[in-house]
Amino acid sequence: MEERKEALRELLRRLHAGASPAEVKENFKKVLEGVSPLEIARVEQELVQEGFPREEIRRLCEVHLEVFREQLERQRVEVPPGNPLEILVGEHEELQKRMGKVKEGVSRIAEAGGPPSAEGELSTMLKLSEELLEAEKHYLREENVLFPMLEKHGITEPPAIMWMEHDQLRREKKELHGLLQEGPAMDFGEFKKRLEERVLSLDRLLQGHILKENRILFPSALRVITPEEWREVRRGFDEIGYCCFTPPLSPVPAEEGKVEEKEVDLLQFETGSLSEREVEAILNTLPVDLTFVGEDDTVRYFNKPEKRFFVRTKAVLGRKVQLCHPQKSVHVVNRILEAFKRGERDVAEFWIQKDGRLIYIRYFAVRDREGKYLGTLEVTQDITELKRIEGERRLLDWGG
pLDDT tens for 223-232 read 999 999 999 9
Q: What is the value of pTM for the model shown?
A: 0.75
Same structural domain, 223 and 361 = no
Same structural domain, 156 and 300 = no
Give the pLDDT of residue 201. Answer: 95
Same structural domain, 205 and 296 = no
Same structural domain, 186 and 132 = yes
Instruction: State which H helix or E strand residue 377 sits in.
Output: strand 373-382
Cβ(44)–Cβ(55) below 8 Å: no
Q: What is the CATH number of the domain that holds 152?
A: 1.20.120.520
**Do the domain assignments include residue 98?**
yes
Please give the Cα distance from 62 to 115 (Å, whole number): 37
Same structural domain, 235 and 277 = no
Please give the Cα distance from 10 to 159 (Å, whole number): 22
- Number of domains making up the chain: 3
Same structural domain, 70 and 88 = no
DSSP 387: G
Q: Domain range holding 333?
A: 273-388
Same structural domain, 93 and 222 = yes
**Do the domain assignments include residue 341?**
yes
Same structural domain, 124 and 28 = no
Same structural domain, 96 and 177 = yes
Low-confidence ranges of the chain (pLDDT < 70): 1, 28-29, 32, 34, 60-64, 71-77, 253-264, 400
Give the pLDDT of residue 39. Answer: 82
C-alpha neighbours within 13 Å on the C-beta side of residue 184 = 11
Give the pLDDT of residue 217. Answer: 92
Give the pLDDT of residue 221. Answer: 95
**Do the domain assignments include residue 260?**
no
Same structural domain, 284 and 220 = no
Ordered strands of the 373-382 beta sheet: 299-302, 289-294, 373-382, 357-367, 347-354
Give the pLDDT of residue 177. Answer: 96
Give the pLDDT of residue 139. Answer: 97
